[in-house]
């Protein structure tokens, strides 16, 4: 078992998600950066589909009930491994750990993951994976529908599966820097004709920033409002990962892993890769480019 000593702002169990159930109203969910979790799993000898943790912004503290190998990828953060009993001052105990490499923990060790210095999310893999019950073939937490385990709370205990492989023989992997500005490729449709030509010029020619109310469901953007050419209402239509929906206030919303499968506001376009938004803090600049009209 892993005991959660400090859950942090939002720490969830994630894997590669549950694709193929949109017709039942179930989105893919899963890690917001699937490649980062796959890498962490490879580093500890897990299958790439094993469940790990997605840790948001403030870090978390975990006590391990057995010896384990762990690996962290994603946002840069201070990592310490405390081998001493509780009650010791942090300055007197523990050793630093690195992101992007396998780390060995003894039984009873406490893994302390600090706040993200850059970026927003860190992914943790543990040898054997997190053995929480799967739902529709996945152990991922879907924060919108409530499928999968709930977000972690202090005092929770997470079961571990048996290790099946050996840690990867690497010293360190390279973590790409987090950019201050994201350039996202946008493909128009299916309702871009509901917006004026001026709206499309604004969408492609001006900068937006990531709003503080963004989450795993979607990245809300703040910037120039997009005027509509058609003011009527739409019946609910299907939504996909990366769909750029425009609510009544005219501010674009990019749907992420826990997005709903239907929605009634017009979708002006679809972003072909939302992975960069996994590390986009509030205030990050976003620019769209790519479509021809």
Taking residues 227-250, what's their average pLDDT? 94
What's residue 87's pLDDT?
Answer: 55
Please report which confidence band the pLDDT of residue 91 belongs to, taking 50, 70 and 90 as the band edges. very low
Higher-confidence residue of 63 and 96: namely: 63
Q: What band does 293 get if pLDDT is binned at 50, 70 and 90?
A: very low
Exposure string for 63-90, b = 16+ CB within 10 A, e = fewer:
bbebebbbbbbbbbbebbbbeeeeeeee
Model confidence over 156-172: pLDDT tens digits? 999 999 999 999 988 77
pLDDT for 41: 97
Distance CA 170, CA 19 (A): 31
Q: Which domains does the chain have, with CATH numbers?
A: 2-158 (no CATH), 181-289 (2.40.100.10)
92 three-class SS = helix
Q: What is the mean pLDDT of the chain?
A: 93
Q: What pLDDT score does 86 carry? A: 52
In tens, the pLDDT along 50-61 reads 999 999 999 999
pLDDT at 258: 97
Query: What's the whole-number mean pLDDT along residues 176-187?
Result: 92
Task: Tell me what the mean pLDDT of segment 268-273 comes to.
Answer: 96
Distance CA 82, CA 149 (A): 27
Instruction: Round to whole Å and give the CA distance between 183 and 272.
Output: 11
* CA 216 to each of CA 141, 198, 219: distance values in angstroms, whole numbers, following the listed order: 10, 30, 8
pTM: 0.93
Instruction: Identify the band that residue 291 occupies on the pLDDT scale cut at 50, 70 and 90.
Output: low
């Amino acid at each position: 078992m892993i005991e959660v000593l400090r859950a942090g702002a939002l720490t969830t169990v994630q894997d590669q998600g549950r694709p193929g159930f949109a017709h039942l109203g179930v989105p893919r969910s899963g890690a917001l950066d699937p490649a980062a979790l796959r890498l962490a799993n490879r580093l500890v000898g897990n299958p790439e589909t094993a469940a790990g943790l997605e840790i948001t912004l403030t870090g978390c503290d975990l006590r391990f009930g057995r010896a384990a190998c762990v690996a962290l990828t994603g946002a840069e953060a201070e990592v310490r491994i405390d081998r001493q009993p509780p009650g010791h001052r942090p300055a007197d105990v523990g050793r630093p750990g690195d992101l992007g490499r396998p780390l060995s923990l003894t039984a009873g060790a406490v893994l302390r993951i600090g706040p993200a210095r850059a970026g927003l999310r860190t992914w943790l893999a543990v040898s054997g994976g997190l053995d929480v019950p799967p739902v529709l073939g996945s152990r991922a937490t879907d924060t919108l529908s409530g499928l999968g385990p709930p977000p972690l709370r202090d005092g929770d205990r997470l079961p571990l599966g048996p290790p099946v492989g050996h840690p990867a023989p690497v010293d360190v992997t390279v973590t790409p820097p987090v950019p201050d500005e994201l350039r996202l490729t946008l493909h128009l449709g299916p309702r871009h004709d509901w917006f004026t030509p001026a709206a499309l010029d604004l969408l492609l020619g001006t900068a937006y920033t990531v709003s503080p109310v963004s989450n795993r469901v979607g990245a809300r953007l703040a910037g120039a409002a997009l005027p509509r050419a058609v003011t009527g209402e739409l019946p609910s239509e299907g939504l996909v990962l990366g769909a750029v929906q425009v609510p009544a206030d005219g501010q674009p919303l990019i749907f992420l892993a826990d997005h709903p499968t239907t929605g009634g506001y017009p979708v002006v376009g679809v972003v072909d890769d939302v992975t960069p938004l996994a590390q986009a803090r509030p205030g990050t600049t976003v620019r769209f480019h790519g479509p021809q009209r």
